Chain A
Amino acid sequence: MVPFARKLAQLGFPDLTAERVNILQVNLGWRCNQACRHCHLAAGPDRPEQMGRDAIDAVSAAVARWAIPVVDLTGGSPEINPHFRYLVERLSQLGAHLLVRCNLTILLEPDHERLPEFFRDHRVELVCSLPYFQEDPVDRLRGPGVFRKSLEALRRLNRVAYGREDSDLKLHLMYNPAGAYLPPEQGALEDRFQQELKRRYDIDFNRLYTLLNMPIGRFKEYLEKSSNYDRYMGKLAAGFNPATVAGLMCRNLISVSWEGRLFDCDFNQALNLPLVEGLPQTIWEFDLPSLERRPINLGDHCYGCTAAAGSSCGGCLAE
């Protein structure tokens, strides 16, 4: 396999650089009430990593100082962080558009049942994980009982008008494959999810995003144990699509880890692949002009974002 950086250079992108920073993606910690088999961070209930109040305040300060328009909160389960509500309230006051990546089942956990109303009151846009409209693939990927709980969580969100046609409260679903294969075409799958979730469960949502399983973390372990790694990587490399490069998410976001360190994306964070040398490395040093046109720190996992229709936290990158 040709190293990803060399592949880009061969195609006329010798130094992939960011174009802007209009999204700050904040990883509030690797603790999660689930332990999904594909998780690139190997998140779970026993993980101790949680963003502390000092880093939370530094996030708010950076958003305020540089007028960053969009803040994307992720984890683990970001809602588990004890400062989650404080951060949402602060960012909401600053006028930032807020995205929360929600695993759905957290809404059924004790002390979190009022989250739908909290999200609604702060106009949070939700991106919720639901990898299929059937129980078996979801439970195999995300744990026994997760599908039924996810449906209940979606019903609760629908009840406060999330995802409803006449509402501006956005509820998007995130699909990822339940194994070593690439995601389907996003538009066609969205149509099926809309039909099936409505017909079977009377559930509404806005958009479906497809996300490829990145060959790192727990998913890499699965690929290696099942002897799928080489073939999967070969498929990603062979599927390289130059049309995806312009929209790569690293070109318009910065990822902040639970420790307050800066990365080009959440996957680089999982691999501990920091921003290139000479750039600000922590949220306390955040300096927009020096980060906007930064060179991206690349690895072979980047083939995961450029294969076929491409992949990002906002779904596919090319049709």
Chain B
Amino acid sequence: MSHYYEEHDLERFSEIGKHCPELFDYFMNYYQGVMAAGALTVREKALIALAVAHAVQCPYCIDAYTRAALSAGSNMEEMTEAIHVAAAIRGGATLIHGIQVHNTVEKITI
């Protein structure tokens, strides 16, 4: 193994079902149900998935959902905005934890 992340490992995803096939089937049925068109379109779901992929920093998901978003008719403008949403929420989430710093400082300082 030359890298922890190998591009072709994405194609081997179903191997995760090898030792617990029933759980994997539950997951895949759920996953496919979630990603199918519903109140949100396939394109909108692909953009959410792309944003989440950046938030969790999964290179497999970023590759897969860049392709999925394009195949669903999206474009660079929408994909870039989705990444900014992920960045903004991550940034905001970092900053809001700063209130805990304020609270702690308030508690232990004169």
Specify which chain B residues have a CB less than 8 angstroms from the CB of A183 in the assembled complex: 71
Give Cα A17–Cα B5 distance, bound, in whole angstroms: 46
Q: Is the CB of A188 within 8 A of B41?
A: yes
CA distance A137 to B43 in the complex (A): 17
Interface size of B by CB at 8 A reads 12
Q: Identify the closest chain B residue to A136 (Cβ).
A: B76
Q: Is the CB of B70 within 8 A of A132?
A: no
Across the interface, which residues of B come within 8 angstroms of A184, CB to CB?
42-43, 71-73
Task: Indicate if B14 sits at the interface (CB-CB under 8 A).
Answer: no
For the complex, what is the distance from the CA of A188 to the CA of B77, rounded to whole Å?
Answer: 18
Number of A-B residue pairs at CB separation under 8 A? 30
Are A134 and B75 in contact, CB atoms less than 8 angstroms apart?
yes
Q: Which of B42, B70, B76 has the most CB of A within 10 A?
A: B70
B interface, over-half SS: helix
A134→B76 CA distance, assembly (Å): 10
Q: Is B84 in contact with chain A by the CB < 8 A criterion? A: no
- List the B side residues contacting A192 at CB < 8 Å: 73
Are B72 and A134 in contact, with the CB atoms below 8 A?
no
What residues of chain A lie closer than 8 Å to B37, measured between beta carbons? 188
Collect the chain B residues with CB atoms within 8 Å of residue A136's CB. 75-76
B75 contacts A132, CB within 8 Å? yes
Which residue on chain B has the smallest CB distance to residue A210?
Answer: B73
| Bound complex: CA A179 to CA B75 (Å) | 12
Q: Which residues of A contact B (CB under 8 A)?
A: 132, 134, 136-137, 177, 179, 181-185, 188-189, 192
24 A-B Cβ contacts within 8 A?
A: A132-B75, A134-B75, A134-B77, A136-B75, A136-B76, A177-B71, A179-B70, A181-B67, A181-B70, A181-B71, A183-B71, A184-B42, A184-B71, A184-B72, A185-B42, A185-B72, A185-B73, A188-B37, A188-B41, A188-B42, A188-B43, A188-B73, A189-B73, A192-B73
Q: Known contacts A134-B75, A188-B41, A188-B73; can you find 19 more A-B pairs with CB under 8 A?
A: A132-B75, A134-B77, A137-B75, A177-B70, A179-B70, A181-B67, A181-B70, A183-B71, A184-B42, A184-B43, A184-B72, A184-B73, A185-B72, A185-B73, A188-B37, A188-B42, A188-B43, A189-B73, A192-B73
Interface residues of B (CB under 8 A from A): 37, 41-43, 67, 70-73, 75-77
